[in-house]
Amino acid sequence: MEKMSRVSTIGGRTVFCHLDAPANAISVCRDATQVVVAGRNIFKIYGLEEDGFVERLNLRVGRKPSLNFSCADVMWHQMEENLLATAATNGAVVTWNLARPCRNKQEQLFTEHKRTVNKVCFHPTEVNMLLSGSQDGFMKCFDLRKKESVSTFSGQSESVRDVQFSIKDYFTFAASFENGNVQLWDIRRPDRYERMFTAHTGPVFCCDWHPEDRGWLATGGRDKMVKVWDMSTNCVKEIYCVQTIASVARVKWRPERRYHLATCSMMVDHNIYVWDVRRPFIPFATFEEHKDVTTGIVWRHQHDPYYLLSGSKDSTLYQHMFKDASRPIDRANPEGLCFGLFGDLAFAAKESLMSGELVIELQKTNNHKQPDFLKDESQFQESTTWTMLRIMFSEPANPSLSSNHNLNKSGNLPLVNSFSMKEMSTALNERNKENRQDNLHSLETNLNNNDENEETEGSEGQAEYLFGDAELDDDDLYSMEHDNQAAEEPEYLLPQEAFPLRHEIMDHPSAPEPVQEKPESPHVSGSEAESTCLTSMESFSLISVSQLLFSPHLPPKFFCPIVKKMLCYYAKQGDVQMAVSVLIVLGKRIRKEIDELTQEHWYMSYIDLLQRFELWNVSNEVIKLSTCGAIMCLNQASTTLHINCSNCKRPMSNKGWICDRCHQCASVCAVCHHVVKGLFVWCQGCSHGGHLEHVMEWLKQSKHCPAGCGHLCEYT
């Protein structure tokens, strides 16, 4: 009780004072009223007052201070309040008595160690017992009433970095060594250690006994770890391990907090961390005041967890108040969130903080998250845009405009017509990995059908299909592509893609057909195709209206500003697909209206988007169709292929596909033994390969090379 009341009377805040020289170690007297700071060039006692540190006493006296003053460590006796011990860098162990009347307070001098003494430690209950550990590998126990050490302990290991008397076991002390070992000794048995274990890889710089748990020892090492060992059992057990970011120079258990300990580092890191050993990854609290390496830390009072004192190489002495510490955990981001390409949303959330198990929740946001009418609306908007464009740029003087829908066949966009249909559809076709001739045929016939209706519709359909409102369709797009690749449905024809849009236009008040269903209805029957032709009534009516609005003799140029405005509008909405599609379709009609830089920007964005979705063929088509110099050269770079003959492994000269040496065709399909034209895939290990679909087919049955070379092929 008396102890506690004394604690509460000491207030304080985060304060510091400048020292004259860097500190190596600090120690505090039992009642927390004074602190001693020791270093190579400093040995002073400061009083702790309400509003800061006050220098009380300078122990470095004499004109030429001896090396005995150059301290590596210092300890204030916890029972005898006038008694101090220091470890000198020259190997001396010195005791100081503040009660001495003269200026020189030095009491005893032990010069038994041959090298630097790293640590001194008073026994917690035995007044006259002092322990030292030195670089020379020996530990010595001194009785302060005698002139010499009473016993010497040889660790038989390397240098001793730390020695600590056990708080609860009268006879026990722990020593930590440069080679990673920790030894337990009984002071009555100097001949050999009681116990030894390897605690760290590399030096163990420090150790500290838990103030309450007699069995717990914390050790810190150069391997950046703090480990807590349970020594109470027969077999020493590591119960906690804290990974810090720099080598651990000091470790001190926090008073009154069973699981907390403070650490500081001897290089790189200047901060003091307080860890909760149960949460070994994030510091519980951090003190960030020091500008150089912290060399000594000590809790101000052995029953007060709120104040920590520290000395540093930056020549300051700090009193840290726990309330002022920064809490990294509060600043750490507890959540992760990321949008995927296909509308997936990954969200990493904390479950329960200490349980350790954390779960990521992947929320696949489905394609229909937008209300249906909106989707309709946006599609309707786009199809209307295309219709308007057709009206604006088609043959103005065609009298049969409103009555005969074949106008476009003789429209004034023959070039655009052929390009938009053929090129784009090829792109589309390729995208579905359907390079087959018959497919192309049916494609073209279907496209011709389309021609009769509308020349731009085809590209529109495709455009819509790609990214209409990408957020909505991305998912579909992806799944569909995959379905195709997986199922390898050869019947899958373009028309299905080209037509559904028209369904949507036709019955836009109702919900659009889900795109996923398309692959499931593999054929568009002729009647269906017909019906789609017929259902272009919508466009009819629009056209007839526009006939009334505009004079048929307006030149297409007249509309350019409007179209430009429209394109900019789409670009502003982020619908770069629409902007690029119109650019491509209208070609030189609109090109001059929009500055090169903007066009290039649109193309680049669109190509990037296509490539994200791995639509390489489409993106290449777009590059080919673009008119910007900067874009067109995109697929001109690094187009050289160096080929070796798959038979004799020699480089092929660039004269066709027959190898000069072995006189065989190098690109024979290993499955069907025909020359491969088009997509040729080969194993980079054995260089055998063939038609993509043949090899894929083969790999379903066997992992070995179809050429019979015995190689386990890897296609990456």
Partner 1 sequence: MFVARSIAADHKDLIHDVSYDFHGRRMATCSSDQSMKVWDKGGNAEWNCTASWKTHSGSVWRVTWAHPEFGQVLASCSFDRTAIVWEEIVGESNDKQRGQSHWIKRTTLVDSRTSVTDVKFAPKHMGLMLTTCSADGVVRIYEAPDVMNLSQWSLQHEISSKLSCSCISWNPSSSRAHAPMIAVGSDDSNVTYGGKVQIYEYNEVTRKYAKAETLMTVTDAVHDIAFAPNLGRSFHVLAIATKDVRIFKLVPLRKDSSSSAPTKFEVQVLAQFDSHNSQVWRVSWNITSTLLASSGDDGCVRLWKANYMDNWKCTGILKGDGSPVSGQPGATNLCKNVPNKQLLHSKHTKT
Q: 552 to 611, contacts with partner 1 by CB under 8 A?
A: 571-572, 574-576, 579-580, 597-598, 600-602, 604-606, 608-609
CA–CA distance from 404 to each of 180, 334, 407 (Å)?
94, 65, 6
Q: How many residues in the chain?
A: 716
- Does residue 612 touch partner 1 according to CB under 8 A? yes
Query: Around 707, how many Cα atoms within 13 Å sit in the side-chain half-sphere?
Result: 21
The correct pick among 109, 239, 358, 679 for binding partner 1 (CB under 8 A) is 358
- Does residue 340 touch partner 1 according to CB under 8 A? yes
- 441-460 residues labelled b (16+ CB within 10 A) or e (exposed): eebeebbebbbebbbbbbbb
Query: Which residues lie across from 154 on neighbouring strands?
Result: 138
**Tokens found for residue 424:** 């784009």
The correct pick among 370, 400, 544, 653 for binding partner 1 (CB under 8 A) is 370
- Does residue 633 touch partner 1 according to CB under 8 A? no
Specify whether the CB–CB gap between 541 and 391 falls below 8 A.
no
Residue 91 in 3-state DSSP?
coil
Residue closer to partner 1 (CB basis): 475 or 504: 475
Specify whether the CB–CB gap between 279 and 302 falls below 8 A.
no
> How many Å apart are CA 162 and CA 185, to the nearest integer?
13
> How many Å apart are CA 602 and CA 594, to the nearest integer?
11
- Does residue 349 touch partner 1 according to CB under 8 A? yes
Specify whether the CB–CB gap between 166 and 173 falls below 8 A.
yes
- Does residue 18 touch partner 1 according to CB under 8 A? no
- Does residue 343 touch partner 1 according to CB under 8 A? yes
Residue closer to partner 1 (CB basis): 668 or 686: 686
Min CB(467)–partner 1 separation in Å:
7
- Does residue 491 touch partner 1 according to CB under 8 A? no
- Does residue 526 touch partner 1 according to CB under 8 A? no
Min CB(323)–partner 1 separation in Å:
16
- Does residue 341 touch partner 1 according to CB under 8 A? yes
The correct pick among 235, 332, 548, 641 for binding partner 1 (CB under 8 A) is 332
Residue closer to partner 1 (CB basis): 67 or 353: 353
The correct pick among 24, 34, 244, 420 for binding partner 1 (CB under 8 A) is 244
- Does residue 292 touch partner 1 according to CB under 8 A? no
- Does residue 637 touch partner 1 according to CB under 8 A? no
Terminal C-alpha separation, the chain: 74
> How many Å apart are CA 44 and CA 19, to the nearest integer?
9
Q: Which of residues 449-478 bind partner 1 (CB under 8 A)?
A: 467, 469-471, 474-475
- Does residue 359 touch partner 1 according to CB under 8 A? yes
**Which H helix or E strand runs over 564?**
helix 560-572
Q: Which of residues 216-235 bind partner 1 (CB under 8 A)?
A: 224
Specify whether the CB–CB gap between 207 and 219 falls below 8 A.
yes
Min CB(247)–partner 1 separation in Å:
11
Residue closer to partner 1 (CB basis): 28 or 579: 579
Min CB(19)–partner 1 separation in Å:
23
Min CB(479)–partner 1 separation in Å:
7
Q: What is the total count of residues that contact partner 1 (CB under 8 A)? A: 83
Residue closer to partner 1 (CB basis): 136 or 600: 600
The correct pick among 368, 592, 650, 661 for binding partner 1 (CB under 8 A) is 368
Nearest CA to 557 out of 531, 593, 521 is that of 593
Residue 564, Cβ neighbours under 10 Å: how many? 15
Stretch of 185-193, 230-238, 300-308, 337-345 lying at the interface with partner 1 (CB under 8 A): 337-345
Q: Which of residues 646-685 bind partner 1 (CB under 8 A)?
A: none
Stretch of 6-14, 128-136, 324-332, 650-658 lying at the interface with partner 1 (CB under 8 A): 324-332
Residue closer to partner 1 (CB basis): 143 or 483: 483
Q: Which of residues 496-515 bind partner 1 (CB under 8 A)?
A: 511, 514
The correct pick among 31, 55, 372, 491 for binding partner 1 (CB under 8 A) is 372
> How many Å apart are CA 421 and CA 444, to the nearest integer?
8
Here the contacts of 587-594 (C-beta below 8 Å, separation 24 or greater) are 587/415, 587/416, 587/419, 587/627, 588/627, 589/393, 589/556, 589/560, 590/560, 590/563, 590/564, 591/627, 593/560, 593/561, 593/563, 593/564, 594/564, 594/567
Q: Can you spell out the DSSP letters for 432-464?
A: TT---HHHHHHHHHHHHHHHHH-SSHHHHHHHH
294-301 β-sheet, strand order: 15-18, 316-321, 304-312, 294-301
The correct pick among 362, 487, 545, 633 for binding partner 1 (CB under 8 A) is 362
Q: Which of residues 248-287 bind partner 1 (CB under 8 A)?
A: 268, 279, 281-282
Tell me which DSSP letter residue 189 carries.
Answer: -
Residue closer to partner 1 (CB basis): 197 or 259: 259
- Does residue 2 touch partner 1 according to CB under 8 A? no
Nearest CA to 345 out of 471, 468, 480, 467 is that of 471
Q: Which of residues 415-454 bind partner 1 (CB under 8 A)?
A: none
- Does residue 363 touch partner 1 according to CB under 8 A? yes
- Does residue 199 touch partner 1 according to CB under 8 A? no
> How many Å apart are CA 220 and CA 248, to the nearest integer?
5
Min CB(463)–partner 1 separation in Å:
14
The correct pick among 331, 663, 673, 700 for binding partner 1 (CB under 8 A) is 331
Specify whether the CB–CB gap between 4 and 51 falls below 8 A.
no
Min CB(226)–partner 1 separation in Å:
12
